[in-house]
Amino acid sequence: MSDFESAPPAKAVPNGMPFPSFDLPLPDKPEIITANIQKLVELTSNPLSTDEWMAAIDFLTRTGQKCTPLRQETILLSDVLGVSALVDAINNPVIEGATESSVLGPFFTEDSADVDFGESIASEGKGDYMYVEGRILTTDGEPVPNAVIETWETDADGFYDTQYADRSHPDCRGRLRSDDDGRFGYRAVVPVAYPVPGDGPVGELLLLLGRHNMRPNHLHITVEAPGFHKLVTALYPEGCDYIVSDCVFGVKKSLVVSLKDVTDDEEARKLGFPRGGSFKLLQHNIVLLTEEQSAAIRARVDEERGVITADKY
């Protein structure tokens, strides 16, 4: 089942709500996430009251009923309320140099196809060409071989594959592994800004709050390797207007990346782009924490915040 009961619109359609009238700092710390959502909630002219409790119960019921094996409306609710970003930020602190996390989002699936080094995660015609490459490294700069990398994105129309009623196979998503030197590379398409689904209860909530439903363009990535803390993150190409007002609070400064313009037709064909021509190049290394490093920094941060854990009783 998908978001569309009939044929989808040609492109993903925003809900028409404007940018907030004030600047929101990028949510690099849990405290910033909380402050940002409080500012946005204050925009509503119709705050919930105790008399509206049954309406809230109905809303939560419909949110659950909207979920399918390919659509997670409850995760989307958590995302737009800033809860996903807040829980992620609290539980995944990093040391300087390690790649920061970002929200998983509601469009991850378990059925990504395996792709070899240099292959494409997107079928032809899904968008402008982009090549993604980098290395998976430790905080000491050592390569992490055979790391499992999952990656997914929208097509040029702003839709994930799971949003199409005729989805027959995974597209614009794939699973690959780093080589012996920690390197990875794959063909993709240039991501675009897009609205999160507005046809369900979460879409209604955003309209009531006077908030837009737009996410900046981004590429989702998860990385797993034995002995290392699993990383769930995303990369956000610079220049998108929605970077500073992401409706799910996922952007962090360190995750904003640049795309290089490559106009070499021979190089494009060498990399496997069927039409040749120009393409965008995204180069970014990913630095993982070991499980021990992750546990140590979480313990330190908890102590600084005065958090009492079960093992201290």
Contact (CB, 8 A) for 189 and 130: yes
State how many domains the chain has. 1
255 within domain boundaries: yes
For residue 130, give the 3-state DSSP assignment.
strand
pLDDT of residue 10: 76
Over residues 10-57, the pLDDT tens digits come to 788 899 988 888 888 998 888 999 999 888 888 776 666 777 788 889
pLDDT of residue 1: 41
pLDDT lower than 70: segments of the chain:
1-8, 45-48, 307-313
239 within domain boundaries: yes
- 73-80 and 53-66 are packed helices; what angle lies between their axes, rounded to 10 degrees? 130
pLDDT of residue 211: 94
5 within domain boundaries: no
pLDDT of residue 309: 54
207 within domain boundaries: yes
197 within domain boundaries: yes
pLDDT of residue 189: 98
Question: Is residue 269 within a helix (H) or strand (E), and if so which, with residue range?
Answer: helix 265-270
12 - beta bridge partners? none
12 within domain boundaries: no
16 within domain boundaries: no
130 within domain boundaries: yes
Q: Which residue type, as a one-letter code, is found at position 91?
A: N
Contact (CB, 8 A) for 218 and 191: yes
**The CATH number of the domain where 63 resides is what?**
2.60.130.10
pLDDT of residue 283: 98
Domain interval for residue 198: 30-307
For residue 235, give the 3-state DSSP assignment.
strand
Number of DSSP helices (H) and strands (E) in the chain, helices first = 7, 12
Supply 85's token pair: 């970003």
pTM beyond 0.75: the answer is yes
Supply 107's token pair: 């469009």
Measured distance CA(239)–CA(217) in Å, rounded: 9
Measured distance CA(66)–CA(43) in Å, rounded: 26
Over residues 161-176, the pLDDT tens digits come to 999 989 999 999 999 9
CA angle 262, 241, 185 (to 5 degrees): 35
